[in-house]
Amino acid sequence: MYYAWLENPKNVHKSWDLFFRNATAGSVPGQAFQTQLPDFSGGKTSLIQSHGLTKSLGKAEKLVEDHLAVQSLIRAYQIRGHHVAQLDPLGILDADLDSFIPSDLITTIDKLGFYGLYESDLDKVFQLPTTTFIGGNESMLSLREIIKRLENTYCQHIGLEFMFINDVEQCDWIRQKFEAPGVMKFTSEEKQTLLARLVRSTRFEDFLARKWSSEKRFGLEGCEVMIPALKTIIDKSSEMGIEYVIMGMPHRGRLNVLANVIRKELEQIFCQFDPKLEAADEGSGDVKYHLGMYHERINRATNKNITLSLVANPSHLEAVDPVVQGKTKAEQFYRGDTEGKKVMSILVHGDAAFAGQGVVYETFHLSDLPSYTTNGTIHVVVNNQVCYRRRGHNEMDEPMFTQPLMYKQIQKQVPVLKKYADKLIADGTVTLQEFEEEIADYDKICEEAYARSKDNKILHIKHWLDSPWPGFFTVDGEPKSMTCPPTGISEDMLTHIGNVASSVPLEGFKIHGGLSRILKGRLEMTKNRVVDWALGEYMAFGSLLKEGIHVRLSGQDVERGTFSHRHHVLHDQDVDKRTCVPMNHLWEQQAPYTVCNSSLSEYGVLGFELGFAMASPNALVCWEAQFGDFHNTAQCIIDQFISSGQAKWVRHNGIVLLLPHGMEGMGPEHSSARPERFLQMNNDDSDAFPQFDGDFEVSQLYDCNWIVVNCSTPANYFHVLRRQILLPFRKPLIIFTPKSLLRLPEAKSSFDEMVSGTNFRRVIAEEGPAAENPGEVKRVIFCTGKVYYDLIKERKNQDLEKEVAITRLEQISPFPFDLLKVEMEKYPQADLVWCQEEHKNMGYYDYVKPRFRTIVNHTRPVWYVGREPAAAPATGNKNAHLVSLRRFLDTAFNLEAFEGKMF
């Protein structure tokens, strides 16, 4: 463009004509576009003189080219400076890190030629572009000083890789934080604080190593600086108004964080190393480097209250990430902290896990979704190429087996505490005596805590609880009662909720024609005092909202419902993005209802909802899988947190999993929610017949690790959702929800089954002709879920309603021994049959069979009717599906099918 202008100024736009005229006249590039040039006085003169320029055309051209070259040089350091940063403390860069040196960084003087610059240009003065902050208050620097400042910023011991960020404001923020002169200079007080924190970080590990040299503790040696880093982050956050910090981290350095960041009592940590320590709490407990902690204290740097929570986690690296985010979101939600100004999260990662574990990406993916964002997270990645592990993977490891050269170098390393102390002593910030006194003081604190720790004979895991619920339990952590009130509600409330569910509360809001028909259908059902599945759910949610219980429903396509049955969010057909949630218009004073479509993630989103449910017992938090079998992508959360969380960490959680389930010819991947897996992980004993003392239903629920149900009616679904909140404790609830039953006319419930005084029915016994003459009944079929409707249809077709009784298990686990005992004794002459639509090696049979046998004391057989064992959960062929259905229905009603057979 410049050369075109030289030929004829009219070859370029008039703005560029102005620019080149001004530049030729001697103005600096940053101001050459201005119509009226300011007076540069000495600045312009020094710039021109340093380049040896007159106002000749050729010299002006060189000035422009040199400034463009310097701008490119600055940008090169910003983009690629980290390639030559001194990041490897071991000096074996080629072993693990890329040793590539970019050609456009001035690592030697001859590289100036890359930009058309020479050694003679080093003392020339250049106007700095607006894309750098290395000048501070100076707008011009010599080339020599520019390179020096760029090297100090980008090529020392911090690597900065950020120029890929598309947001200019974010890039400028990073540039300013690192490029501004003097930004890395600390005051004497700051240096002393850093030293004191390093002393605590280092000496804590040294103390553990001396006392328990053969114990695994996943120490922080090699990365002791993480403790002062975390404490500084918390100090700064408190200064900016943060009141609550929720943390997640792996096991490496966890005990140190508990001691020196959260400030857990040292004797509580030390006593965990005592092999004779007895566990007081029921459950398995967990190893010390998995436990969490909750602590409210004064931040010494700001003198403000701050609450710190370190979330308990399993060995599965990064699994805790979405859990922390969910808990953070909940704490923000309950405080009305919509911008994340009061509650924040910190996640600590290992470098390999951060790169390798997909749940990290799934968690990041939630960051901008409205009902999932926490408005930012501090991520601290412990980089084992920048730091190192002095003792390998853990204290029992021998890293020399596989990394001999690296660990020879590590053994030579001077600890960071000594390096920093020597530096501060040399520059007079502290004296050797002051440093030694700091060490002695902390060593004394550790020794005194160690002496006190010997008095602890019993381990109370509840002292390590990461999410206490003040006021919900007694001071001893026990339920305030062991009863559950009736879960039914008044008819007036049912009618009111039904009317709102059938309406559009906003004026001038145009809904889809198909949705109008659905709402009219709801209104008709309300008038007729019946509910289908969607309306029963509406009744449960709406009634809880009136009682001040926040309801949150999350998952893929939950707003509409995967099967287009729910429609909790209405969309205006004429106004883009205008929506209405009628559930939030039920009452003037009600808790908020949150229904939110998640990203296409199970692992991350289920972890998030689990974390959300941790924050408060007064919320019904539901996660719905698009199809039930998709939960296995989140198996880690189910196995490590939901199933075993209370046993390991004494942590109640009332999360609800809604898992669409049913064999309907939809193929292997859209049929089974894998009930067998949930039942296998239930902690009840199949061979122990329980005592029916007190409120057996509630005590049985209290003893279990989770509740598994498969409701066959909307009323029972309504009740089990309400029971989840009305119970005096919290347990995870697994619900196998229907698909075809959503619209099956027979699968509706009357208001009579939901009004005040009614309850969840764990077992729905036969109520027809067979129950009236039990002595004449030849077969009792026990079943659960959708297959009931197939069975009653076939029974009617075969006119066997007097000979065959059908009883439904609505709550499968914990197993309703008391109610089923009554049913089995009611029909003493009948065959006992378990019928399921799932394959024999799946579903419920392996769970219910030994429990049925325990009830009858192994005196009567319990025959199996259902599909044969298989590898895949269902067939993909519709005809094969119907054939197998026909086959097991024939067997179910063939009253001679088991004659002469051995059980």
Beta strand spans in 416-509 (E) = 458-459
Q: In what order do the strands lie in the sheet with 763-764?
A: 763-764, 804-809, 779-783, 831-839, 862-867
- What does the block give as tokens for 402? 């596989």
How many Å apart are CA 581 and CA 545, to the nearest integer?
13
The separation between CA 182 and the C-alpha centre of its own chain, rounded to angstroms, equals: 38
35 band by pLDDT with thresholds 50, 70 and 90: low
203-229 pLDDT, tens digit each: 999 999 999 988 888 889 989 999 999
- What rounded mean pLDDT belongs to the chain? 92
Quote the pLDDT of residue 48: 54
HSE-CB for 797 with a 13 A CA cutoff: 12
pLDDT tens digit string along 703-721? 999 999 999 999 999 999 9
If one compares 26 and 753, the residue with the highest pLDDT of the two is 753
10 Å CB burial of residue 761 (0-12, 13-18, 19+) is buried
Angle at 309 between CA 303 and CA 314, to 5 degrees: 155
Q: Is the pLDDT of residue 364 over 70?
A: yes
Radius of gyration of the chain (CA): 35
Running DSSP on this structure, what letter comes out for residue 764? E
> Measuring CA to CA, which residue among 174, 176, 96 is closest to residue 136?
176
Reported as a single tens digit per residue, the pLDDT across 524-539 is 999 999 999 999 999 9
Determine the pLDDT at residue 458: 76
Is the pLDDT assigned to residue 641 strictly greater than 80? Answer: yes
Nearest Cα residue to 903 out of 859, 839, 873, 854:
859
Report residue 357 as tokens.
């574990």
Contact 306, 207 (CB under 8 A): no
Whether 461 has a pLDDT exceeding 80, the answer reads: no
Residue 43 has pLDDT above 60, yes or no: no
CA distance 271 to 293: 16
Q: What pLDDT score does 40 carry?
A: 40
Structure confidence at residue 410 (pLDDT): 87
What pLDDT, on a 0 to 100 scale, did the predictor assign at position 356? 95
Q: For 588, which DSSP code?
A: S
Q: What's residue 205's pLDDT?
A: 94
Q: What is the pLDDT of residue 45?
A: 53
pLDDT tens string 164-177 = 999 999 999 999 99
Q: Report, as an integer, the average pLDDT of 744-754.
A: 97
Q: How many CB atoms lie within 10 A of CB 144?
A: 13
Average confidence (pLDDT) over 232-242: 97
Say how far residue 727 (Cα) sits from the centre of its chain: 26
Cβ-Cβ contacts under 8 Å for 837 (sequence gap 6 or more): 662, 663, 785, 786, 787, 790, 843, 866, 867, 885, 888
- Check whether 695 has a pLDDT greater than 80: yes
pLDDT band at 15 (very low <50, low <70, confident <90, very high): confident
Q: Quick check: 6 pLDDT over 80?
A: no
Look-up of token digits 């990203």: 599
**Residue 876 in tokens:** 């993909």
Which residues, 6 or more positions from 886, have their beta carbon under 8 angstroms from its beta carbon? Answer: none
Q: Which two tokens stand for residue 376?
A: 């930012």
Q: Is the pLDDT of residue 54 over 60?
A: no
pLDDT of residue 95: 46
Q: What is the mean pLDDT of residues 287-313?
A: 92
At 390-447, the pLDDT tens digits run 887 777 788 889 888 888 988 899 999 999 999 999 999 999 999 999 999 999 999 9
Q: Is the pLDDT of residue 751 over 60?
A: yes
State percent of the chain over pLDDT 70.
Answer: 95
Contact between 749 and 531 under an 8 Å Cβ cutoff? The reply is yes
Contact 842, 784 (CB under 8 A): no
Contact 48, 122 (CB under 8 A): no
pLDDT at 55 over 90: no
Give the chain's count of helices (H) and strands (E).
31, 25
Of the listed ranges 6-15, 420-429, 640-649, 856-865, the one predicted with least confidence: 6-15
pLDDT at 476: 83
Pairing of strands 458-459, 570-571: unpaired
Determine the Cα–Cα distance for residues 634 and 359; give it in Å rounded to an integer. 10
pLDDT of 38 reads 40
pLDDT in tens, 92-108: 865 445 567 888 999 89
Rounded to an integer, the average pLDDT of 731-748 is 96
Residue with tokens 């053994």: 411
* Phi–psi pair at 671, nearest 5 degrees: -120, -60
Q: What is the rounded distance in angstroms from the CA atom of residue 652 to the CA atom of residue 655?
A: 10
**Rounded Cα–Cα distance for residues 58 and 69 (Å):** 16
At 363 the pLDDT is 97
Contact between 325 and 345 under an 8 Å Cβ cutoff? The reply is: yes
Averaged over 343-366, what is the pLDDT? 96
Structure tokens at 312: 């308990």
User: What beta strand segments (E) does 501-547 contain?
Assistant: 530-531
C-alpha span between 478 and 486 (Å, rounded): 21
Confidence check: pLDDT of 274 > 90 = no
User: Whose CA is closest to 600, among 374, 376, 349, 372?
Assistant: 372
Range scoring the smallest mean pLDDT among 7-11, 565-569, 728-732, 797-801: 7-11
Cβ–Cβ under 8 Å, residues 756 and 543: no
Supply the pTM of this predicted model.
0.91
Q: How large is the average pLDDT for residues 772-780?
A: 95
- Mean pLDDT value of segment 788-816: 97
Show Cβ contacts of residue 799 under 8 Å, excluding neighbours closer than 6 positions.
Answer: none
Nearest CA to 113 out of 80, 149, 73 is that of: 73
